[in-house]
Structure 1
Amino acid sequence: MSISRFILVRHGETAGNKEGLFYGSTDLPLTDNGHRQAATVASYLRDIQIDTILISELQRARQTAEYIRTPENHHYHCDPRLNEMHFGEWEMKHYSEIAARFPADWDTWMKDWQHAAPTGGEPFPQFAARVQAVADELRREASETPATRLIVAHKGVLGLIIARWFGLPAEAMWQFPCEQDSYSVAECRDGFMTLAVFNGRSCFTPVV
């Protein structure tokens, strides 16, 4: 039985996370704590042979991946479809400021975010479609070519990918909140997906 593994890692902490702000496309670096988180995750994965590294275009993903990659994995595959959602005029703002400055759009978002868009930002259906397209491609590749693939991306992106792999609607992304100092593992065995680890915080030992 052929086995492919996806190791899913959310980038480490940024100032936007620390301050509780809406942000997605803003290209923030890791905080000192974010660097520590990335180093910790790398220690959990130190004995794993990773064949391919896929990351978003944003520096917080790249900085996190730097801790995990080995000399054999010196190339990244950057895919803009793995970028976090673009929140337009809501970027780098607290929800209280957004509600005060854009009350109508905020009200629409709160009532039906699955079909809405932040002010001047990316509509959620468009965001979901691009991420789901990546998820479908990766699943096909896993079925055809057994390998261990590392994906370093963002909370919304990783949640959508997992939901897609398990046949759940896009809004189920919030049932898979990938945390910043952990890793998750999805396995594909002859096309059948399983979630082997979720928010793991110990050294990963694959089960054959």
Structure 2
Amino acid sequence: MKLYLIRHGESMGNLQGKIQGAMDFPLSELGTKQVDLISAYCKEMKLDYIYSSDLTRAYDTAKKIGETTKRSVQTWDKIREVYLGPLQGLTRDEIKEKYPITVKKSIITSGIEGTETKEELTERCRLVLQELKQEHMNESVAIVSHGGFISILLMYILVGDKWSDFHRPFVIGNTSVTLLEWPNDADLPYLHYTNRTAHLDSLEAEQHAKKGVL
């Protein structure tokens, strides 16, 4: 199985500097441009299936990819962003002021009451990986999801249930692509690349030009 993990385009929540969690935000103007570029990039992937988080920013990204690759999109609540309860809708500075524990501890694994627990996240990852292996072991699948969940799923795939004991080193940018492959029904995958964003180069050049960068 080839598994492409794709983050959604920039959302209005991203633009406003808010921690979104499972709150629903639409794509920003820049996010819409990013989605056009990632969808064109995906045209050569020869995808068999596309799954998307049911949150708008991810689903609108996935729909555009589906149009380009001529594949339908199935929503899957198991791959939506981490639920962060009382932290959702706040900026990082507001969270640090209100919950000092987050100064030195990841928001996702802080254990703050009302947020999704490490055990719940572990179970979500287990179910996602199990279902993918059962249904798509010899196919190419794209999952359009969120930065937090993608980074956790990667850690779970690499180190298992103890993922939260380790530092998560992954940078997962908007519309970035990460590729894993399980060859010949192998239990463990190869990680081909993470956070690939070359498709955004033309957009970044355009933005620099508008700012008058020489």
Deviations 1:139-178 (A, max 9, x none): 44444xx101010001111112222222254234732222
Q: Which amino acid aligns with 2:196?
A: G
Of 157, 161, 178, the match for 2:153:
161
Residues 123 and 45 of structure 1, relative CA distance in 2, 3 Å threshold? same
Residues 115 and 46 of structure 1, relative CA distance in 2, 3 Å threshold? closer
- State the partner residue of 2:175: 181
Unaligned runs of 5+ in 2: 200-214
1:139 & 1:194 partners in 2: Cα distance? 15
Residues 154 and 111 of structure 1, relative CA distance in 2, 3 Å threshold? closer
- State the partner residue of 1:206: none
Of 144, 147, 161, the match for 1:152:
144
**Is this contact kept in 1: 2:156–2:163, CA < 8 A?**
yes
The residue matched to 1:86 in structure 2 has which SS? coil
- State the partner residue of 1:123: 117
Deviations 1:25-48 (A, max 9, x none): 111011011111111111222122
The residue matched to 2:175 in structure 1 has which SS? coil
Of 191, 194, 204, the match for 1:198:
194
Pairing of 1:80-91 with structure 2 (within 5 A): 80-91=77-88
Residues 1:170 and 2:166 aligned together: no
Residues 1:20 and 2:17 aligned together: yes
The residue matched to 1:67 in structure 2 has which SS? helix
The residue matched to 1:73 in structure 2 has which SS? coil
Unaligned runs of 5+ in 1: 204-208
2:79 & 2:35 partners in 1: Cα distance? 18
1:95 & 1:119 partners in 2: Cα distance? 17
Deviations 1:23-78 (A, max 9, x none): 2111101101111111111122212211111111111111101221147412x222
Residues 1:135 and 2:129 aligned together: yes
The residue matched to 2:173 in structure 1 has which SS? coil
Alignment RMSD, CA only?
2.5
**Is this contact kept in 2: 1:12–1:35, CA < 8 A?**
yes
The residue matched to 2:181 in structure 1 has which SS? strand
Q: Which amino acid aligns with 2:95?
A: I
**Is this contact kept in 1: 2:39–2:65, CA < 8 A?**
yes
Residues 42 and 114 of structure 1, relative CA distance in 2, 3 Å threshold? closer
2:108 & 2:88 partners in 1: Cα distance? 18
Deviation at 1:119, TM superposition (A): 4.4
Aligned residues: 194
2:51 & 2:123 partners in 1: Cα distance? 18
Q: Which amino acid aligns with 2:170?
A: F
